[in-house]
């Protein structure tokens, strides 16, 4: 019988976000400090064998969904090989990927063949100069090529994540809606969270997404919709189109009471909440030769540490860690 991971607030943990690298080829303003290079050492990265083992154990403990993330997951060498190994593990029903898409043109087909079903792509603007500015020098053409390649490879849905920031990209909300209607992408708006100094700066420009919803409702007819994926987004459908728009509101309307996820960073640390420091190091335990049963006990102990909720609004200065370190 499959076991279950339950935290002390009665939440079933069945979703793991797995960071396969803390590195990235972009420096998004809200995520990583400009010019940041202080990355973890390769010797501290979980190897593919270690990742496969820990995910197998999570699968035996009832985890059904895995999302590969980072940093930028596509900068980890041989990602399709890892995805192939994870997709085969018993209990893992859904393997998805978050990417900035700069390298997706080349990798979309191998990743699809490896068993990844769904892809989320970060894209905050459609303007090349603005993209360069927000991402610290990125080229938007690569992302657009990557998005098209993902669609052609058969990923369905392809979701675009846009962090909405006042005075930065809020004038592009309608353009992004039209872009997603035209290309059959799903669109999700995200509120900027105060993670690290970079996130805190962006959080100052945060827009409560009800404002964007109301603005769109003046131009389009929106009806409530459902979307598979196990995430916290609330969706609407734009009438007379296939477009669904999701609103992810960690700041204005948090969803901690239904949180079903934890995050494993590339160095094997389990983070119990995006917005809190509670963590549990698994790598050295695994390298010291603990058995699978012992690993299961440690994972349950870690889950017992999962806090009730984040405190982004009450204590915005709390988190030193920025997003790419945990795995967004
Ligand atoms: N590199 C990949 C990407 O950009 O999709 C995966 C990792 S990235 C850290 C995952 C998600 O975190 C992205 O959608 C990004 O927009 C979001 N993110 C990063 N920092 C954030 C912040 N301070 N507030 C809200 N979202 C943030
Ligand atoms: Fe890289 Fe993604 Fe962070 Fe942007 S949001 S810097 S693409 S990890």
Closest CA to 94 of 72, 74, 119: 119
Contact yes or no for 187/243 (Cβ under 8 A): yes
- Test site for ligand 1: of 159, 163, 271, most ligand atoms within 8 A of the Cβ: 163
Among the ranges given (39-53, 112-126, 294-308, 312-326), the one the predictor scored with the smallest mean pLDDT: 312-326
Residues of the chain above pLDDT 90, percent: 79
Task: Calculate how far, in angstroms, residue 71's C-alpha sits from the geometric centre of ligand 1.
Answer: 8
Closest CA to 280 of 313, 304, 255: 304
Give 234-252 pLDDT, tens digit per residue: 999 999 999 999 999 988 9
| Of residues 232 and 5, more confidently modeled | 5
Give 120-131 pLDDT, tens digit per residue: 999 999 999 999
- Test site for ligand 2: of 161, 324, 326, most ligand atoms within 8 A of the Cβ: 324
What was the pLDDT predicted at 321?
72
Under the banding of pLDDT at 50, 70 and 90, the label for residue 230 is low
Q: Residue 313: what are its φ and ψ, rounded to 5°? A: -85, -40
Cα separations in angstroms, 221 against 91, 184, 245:
40, 18, 12
Give 122-164 pLDDT, tens digit per residue: 999 999 999 999 999 999 999 999 999 999 999 999 999 999 9
Which ligand has the minimum distance to the alpha carbon of residue 30? 1
* Residue keyed to tokens 């698994």: 282
Closest CA to 270 of 214, 218, 327, 216: 327
* Residue keyed to tokens 């006990």: 297
Q: Is the CB of 324 under 6 A from ligand 2?
A: yes
Task: Calculate how far, in angstroms, residue 33's C-alpha sits from the geometric centre of ligand 1.
Answer: 13
Could you identify the atom of ligand 2 that is nearest to the CA of residue 70? 8
Q: How many CB atoms lie within 10 A of CB 95?
A: 23
According to CATH, what is the number of the domain 15-326? 3.20.20.70
Could you identify the atom of ligand 1 that is nearest to the CA of residue 196? 23
Task: Calculate how far, in angstroms, residue 27's C-alpha sits from the geometric centre of ligand 2.
Answer: 6
Under the banding of pLDDT at 50, 70 and 90, the label for residue 261 is very high
Q: Is the CB of 28 under 6 A from ligand 2?
A: yes
Pairing of strands 94-99, 186-191: unpaired
DSSP 130-152: HHHHHHTS--HHHHHHHHHHHHH
Domain segments of the chain as ranges: 15-326
Radius of gyration of the chain measured on its C-alpha atoms: 19
Cα-to-chain-centroid distance, residue 179: 22
Query: Half-sphere exposure of residue 208, counting CA atoms within 13 Å on the CB side?
Result: 7
Closest CA to 136 of 225, 61, 42, 36: 36
Residues within a 6 A CB radius of ligand 1 = 24, 30-31, 69-70, 72, 98-100, 122, 161, 163, 190, 192-193, 195, 199, 202, 323-324, 328
Q: How many CB atoms lie within 10 A of CB 195?
A: 27
């Amino acid at each position: 019988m499959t076991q279950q991971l339950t935290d002390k607030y009665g939440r079933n943990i069945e979703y793991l976000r797995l960071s396969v690298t803390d590195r990235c080829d972009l420096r998004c303003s809200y995520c990583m400090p400009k010019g940041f290079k202080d990355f973890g050492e390769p010797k501290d990265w979980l190897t593919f064998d270690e990742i496969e083992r820990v995910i197998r154990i999570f699968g035996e403990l009832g985890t059904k969904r895995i999302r590969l993330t980072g940093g930028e997951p596509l900068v980890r060498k041989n990602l399709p090989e890892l995805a192939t190994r994870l997709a085969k593990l018993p209990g893992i029903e859904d393997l998805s990927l978050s990417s900035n898409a700069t390298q997706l043109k080349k990798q979309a087909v191998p990743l699809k063949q490896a068993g990844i079903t769904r892809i989320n792509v970060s894209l905050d603007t459609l303007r090349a100069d603005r993209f360069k500015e927000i991402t610290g020098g990125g080229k938007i053409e690569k992302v657009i090529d990557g998005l098209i390649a993902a669609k052609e490879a058969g990923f369905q849905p392809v979701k675009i994540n846009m962090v909405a920031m006042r005075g930065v990209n809020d004038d592009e909300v309608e353009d992004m809606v039209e872009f997603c209607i035209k290309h059959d992408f799903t669109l999700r708006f995200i509120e900027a969270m105060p993670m690290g100094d970079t996130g805190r700066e962006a959080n100052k420009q945060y827009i409560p997404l009800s404002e964007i919803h109301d603005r769109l409702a003046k131009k389009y007819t929106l009806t409530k919709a459902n979307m598979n994926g196990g995430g916290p987004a609330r969706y609407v459908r734009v009438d007379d189109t296939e477009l669904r728009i999701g609103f992810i509101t960690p700041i204005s309307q948090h969803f901690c009471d239904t949180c079903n996820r934890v995050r494993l960073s590339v160095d094997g640390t389990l983070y119990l909440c995006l917005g809190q420091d509670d963590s549990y190091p698994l790598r050295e335990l695994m390298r010291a030769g603990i058995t699978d049963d012992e690993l299961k006990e440690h994972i349950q102990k870690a889950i017992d540490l999962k806090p009730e909720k984040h405190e982004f609004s009450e204590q915005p200065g709390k988190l030193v860690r920025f997003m790419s370190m945990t795995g967004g």
